[in-house]
A and B are shown apart, each in its own frame.
Chain A
């Protein structure tokens, strides 16, 4: 793949989240679905009011019906490519939700396998000319599954993060400690993670070598340079997503260092969880609450500091925050506020221009060896970010940069997917690892923390001479003299 090609596709992909306002909102073929067989009207609160698609605002039925079944997405769908089954393919999932809405599929429980196997990677939407938002449609379908998001653990986790983040942090540390004190897998066995409602975290944590005992937010709060008090402006505000905050503290710290170096003074926004976990676990109301709190916090800072970009260093969270408006399509008061916040969000991957990325220190560059870049799904498919990080990496790694074949093939991490679908997840990962091995990479740069955990756990087992590092960590390390 060459740059021109990427640049060519870039324009179109970038608009994935920005409905084209110039075009007439809906063509003549617009039908309002009177009867929605997917969920009862009284459950509407658990669902999105509308989807903000590339073709404009659409209700779920219209968004799903936009798929004309051409099938061009199928070869980009990892689960289809591995199984060859329409049932667990992008087109199949879309058709399933459509059939459910139309009442042609009678029982939502039949859709369980189809919907739960989706990685939500969004490769299908990238391949789709109409940009049918299959991940959003799948999530809507999942929310209609009986009990989805209602189980005790999911509720506990989201409630913990929402209402008592510090208490949540305490329990999490206890769980980590249980691991550090050498009691093998005690933490997992104690069900602490389950108690915290993060079964996926148990899996992620087991693939992370060093779990932190000080979370990033605690450290950043202590950094006087990052305090907003008494300041009139800020070049950036750092938003600490849960991954860098609770698991990969070094990523958060590296991001802040890189931001300071490249973009001057900024602040730590001292945020809450972005709400993605609640959203994907099916707890939309909770996700909205997270969003409202973050938006309010942003507005509070904006009143003091004026405009500033909100920088997140996990692509999943950045992509989700860019879509905050979609959470509030039925809420006139919050919708514009969400849109304004979303417009301020930037992924660290796209924020730093090559000119400000500094220069590689020879020793550090030598240590990094051969560098390649993995497109995290929520960066490339979710936000259309492909060119920017490559430009920086090409500059820093020079001739040691290699383009990864199938770089936008999902790694299989996909949030809790690795936990809920271990077999499929392993096969998805295997293909990623083979591609990494094919370019004999030493360093695989990624932009999302679930990719970091997933790819590193795979590399340790299959290809130990390579390691995955977060984009910020790579930038921080490679430009550091000595």
Chain B
């Protein structure tokens, strides 16, 4: 396929690193690494089977030197073509790196290699009374490395967060072959979190320190059968609205149940949807009360039967049905397209209605699965790829479903990633500014463009197909109420628009700017004493403190950057809501950029940012899950105001009374930061003239 054999020249070097039999270019190996669980196909030029994590960096160095693209691959169960080598090159097969190196129950960490199968880790943790929260349905076969690459979720992420929230530290081989150790707690912009969900385009994880949690002492698993998916969805909204946070809240429709359960389907006649609700906790009385509340809500929504699993076997059977619903589609047809759209949870019934209409419009069959608590939909559309007409219809339907999610203020992927198959949809979700920003991140990590090239971000031809500037994520289409959903510049407050204009002027004049908030940490009167800040002009964010916009149904709130976190908390409290964080001092924006409390990142769903030249970025939105593009939101955590000026942030909330929290002990050295090469390159991408808080990046960028 490749006219020029690029591999022979470096073959001996690679063999010296990975061992003779582990560098393979035979036709069989090439063919077998040209597919994954998705639809895309492309042939690699070489497959390198690693037997030790320490072989990866030297091999990457060799490939980098030779200018040959590469991508890491594990179980190959990717659903969006992420592991397909679009530009040939090398497949770095890490599946044999599957040692669990350490389980530290005191520190609540597990050190694992990327090839460890998710379920194997769970089995290893169980005897110690611990578990690792992300539990993608593919956990029987998918690996930790793959889970990190895709930022996998799973039923339990409703309560415990996605992969990104459950990783402490990563050892990464950069696309240039350097080995780095990154934690989200590190000073400065959070590079670890950007790695997670980057689908191998920014580097290769070779070791991961994962957060592990004690198994809950109380567990209740119930199934509820409903006569319609709509009534099931209504029940979901009510359950969450009642302040109950189940560890899992899953929904599946009749097609999925029939496929997964077959003759074992014992739900009553006329059941169109089933909810699986799992509650956990340590207080038996409290959990039983919650279970009764849930039972009552289900009953009020036409639930036909509500059955609590009596023992572990019944529970296992329920979960086997849920987690088997996707592979079981193979019984119905030889191919399946799994979509992965997310919408704000209250809009699930709406999204469902549209999805069904699209599927019937294209005369297709689909099993519907939902991480209902997260607003994450998985229509499994079945087809036979040998029927070319049908494939076309499936692709069209898939794209329409994504567009409908976008129109509802949602996103195109909650946990499966963008890969190559949803690349074009990035155009519909983001505007040119955001896509350029993502490209900047890619260039900073991978200047040579060799790490899993042409993934995630639209390529030139696809960009033309998009509508630049149509910042759809969060923007509601005409006729739909858009009271608190932001939508481009017009949705910004006058003071925020003022800041955009001010930055544009200063950028044109080359004025150095010191961004200041409420003066909690960075005292305006002290700025001139900072070395490198002598010639700066202040940009005060204090006026950015309009009332927060609270969406009670979706449990999210948007606050402007200058709003004090205490005032924000007070406004939430009045609405019966809270953010599950310690008591923090300072402005919303200041807390994000100073990374005083690293756990804040877990509650951050969206950011509106002004770059140094006054470009507006809208990142994330109102959905609790979003893996479309790089996790740029977390990149701003700890950015010390150097990458851009945060205008507003959207947070995930909890319903009910905030539990009493101790005062937070701040680290006085919050601004001590030694930038990494990649930090510098990022700065160069976003603010090449070092206009914002110039003292942080001393010397040439």
Contact = CB atoms under 8 A, between A and B. Distances in A.
Q: Do A and B come from one complex?
A: yes
Contacts of A69: 35-37
Given A84-B95, A96-B28, A114-B28, A31 B384 contact: yes
B136 interface: no
Contacts of A92: 32
B330 A71 contact: no
B387 to A, nearest CB: 7
A74 B141 contact: yes
Given A12-B262, A113-B28, A130-B330, A68 B313 contact: no
Interface string B27-45: 1110111011100000000
Interface of B: 26-29, 31-33, 35-37, 49, 75-77, 93, 95-96, 98, 115, 117, 119, 138, 140-141, 259-260, 262-264, 311-313, 316-317, 320, 324, 326-336, 382-384, 386-387, 390
Interface stretch (A103-111, A173-181, A286-294): A103-111
A129 B324 contact: yes
Contact of B334 (A5, A29, A74, A113): A29
Interface string A393-424: 00000000000000000000000000000000
Given A70-B326, A75-B117, A27 B387 contact: no
A75 B77 CA distance: 12
A217 interface: no
B329 to A, nearest CB: 7
A148 interface: no
A307 interface: no
23 contacts: A4-B311, A4-B313, A8-B264, A12-B262, A29-B334, A29-B387, A68-B37, A68-B330, A70-B336, A71-B36, A71-B138, A72-B327, A74-B76, A75-B119, A84-B115, A86-B93, A87-B29, A95-B35, A96-B31, A105-B27, A110-B31, A128-B330, A129-B329
Nearest to A63: B334
Contact of A86 (B33, B138, B312, B336): B33
B140 A75 contact: yes
B330 A111 contact: no
Interface residues of A, number: 42
Given A84-B49, A110-B27, A111-B28, A70 B262 contact: no
A70 B330 contact: yes
Contacts of A75: 75, 117, 119, 140-141
Contact of A2 (B36, B96, B263, B313): B313
Contact of A87 (B32, B138, B140, B382): B32
B28 A29 contact: no
A68 B334 contact: yes
A73 B375 CA distance: 29
Nearest to A12: B262
B377 to A, nearest CB: 19
Contact of A129 (B95, B119, B331, B386): B331
B29 A55 contact: no
Contacts of A4: 311, 313
A55 B32 CA distance: 26
A60 to B, nearest CB: 13
A75 B146 CA distance: 15
Contact of A12 (B264, B313, B327, B335): B264
Interface of B is mostly: mixed
Given A71-B77, A132-B330, A83 B96 contact: yes
Interface in A57-71: 62, 65-71
A65 B387 CA distance: 12
A129 B326 CA distance: 9
Nearest to A132: B330
B33 A70 contact: no
A129 B330 contact: yes
The 10 closest A-B pairs by CB, nearest first: A84-B95, A29-B384, A130-B330, A4-B313, A84-B96, A129-B328, A71-B77, A87-B32, A70-B327, A68-B330
A72 B260 CA distance: 14
Contacts of A111: 28
Interface of A: 2, 4-5, 8, 11-12, 27, 29, 31, 55, 62, 65-72, 74-75, 83-87, 92, 95-96, 99, 104-107, 110-111, 113-114, 128-130, 132
A195 to B, nearest CB: 33
Given A72-B138, A95-B32, 19 more contacts: A5-B313, A8-B316, A8-B320, A12-B264, A27-B332, A29-B387, A31-B387, A65-B386, A68-B37, A70-B77, A70-B330, A70-B336, A71-B36, A84-B49, A85-B49, A86-B33, A110-B28, A128-B330, A129-B324
A109 to B, nearest CB: 9
A67 B141 contact: no
Contacts of A74: 75-77, 141
B426 to A, nearest CB: 24
A95 B27 CA distance: 14
B135 to A, nearest CB: 15
Contacts of A114: 28, 32
| Residue of B262, B328, B334, B336 contacting most chain A CB atoms (<10 Å) | B334
Nearest to B78: A71
Nearest to B26: A110
Contact of B37 (A2, A29, A71, A96): A71
Contacts of A87: 28-29, 32
Nearest to B50: A84
Contact of B141 (A5, A65, A71, A86): A71
Contacts of A128: 327, 330
Contacts of B260: 129
A170 B9 CA distance: 59
| Residue of A66, A67, A72 contacting most chain B CB atoms (<10 Å) | A72
A93 to B, nearest CB: 9
A125 to B, nearest CB: 12
| Residue of B36, B328, B331, B333 contacting most chain A CB atoms (<10 Å) | B331
A360 B336 CA distance: 53
A70 to B, nearest CB: 4
A27 B317 CA distance: 27
A70 B138 CA distance: 9
Contacts of B36: 69, 71
B140 A27 contact: no
Contacts of B37: 68-71
Nearest to B336: A68
B42 to A, nearest CB: 13
Contact of B93 (A29, A85, A104): A85
A69 B138 CA distance: 12
A431 B510 CA distance: 67
A403 B37 CA distance: 34
A147 to B, nearest CB: 18
Nearest to A104: B31
A110 B263 CA distance: 41
Given A29-B333, A29-B387, A68-B330, A8 B31 contact: no
B259 A129 contact: yes
Contacts of A107: 27
B93 A84 contact: yes
| Residue of B95, B263, B320 contacting most chain A CB atoms (<10 Å) | B95
A129 B320 CA distance: 11
A86 B330 contact: no
Contacts of B326: 70
Contacts of B332: 27
Contacts of B35: 69, 95
A29 B383 contact: yes
Contact of A8 (B98, B317, B390): B317
| Residue of B29, B32, B98 contacting most chain A CB atoms (<10 Å) | B32
B698 to A, nearest CB: 46
A87 B32 CA distance: 6
Contacts of A5: 313, 316
B361 to A, nearest CB: 18
Contacts of A72: 77, 138, 140-141, 327
A74 B96 CA distance: 13
A95 B115 CA distance: 22
Given A69-B36, A129-B260, A105 B384 contact: no
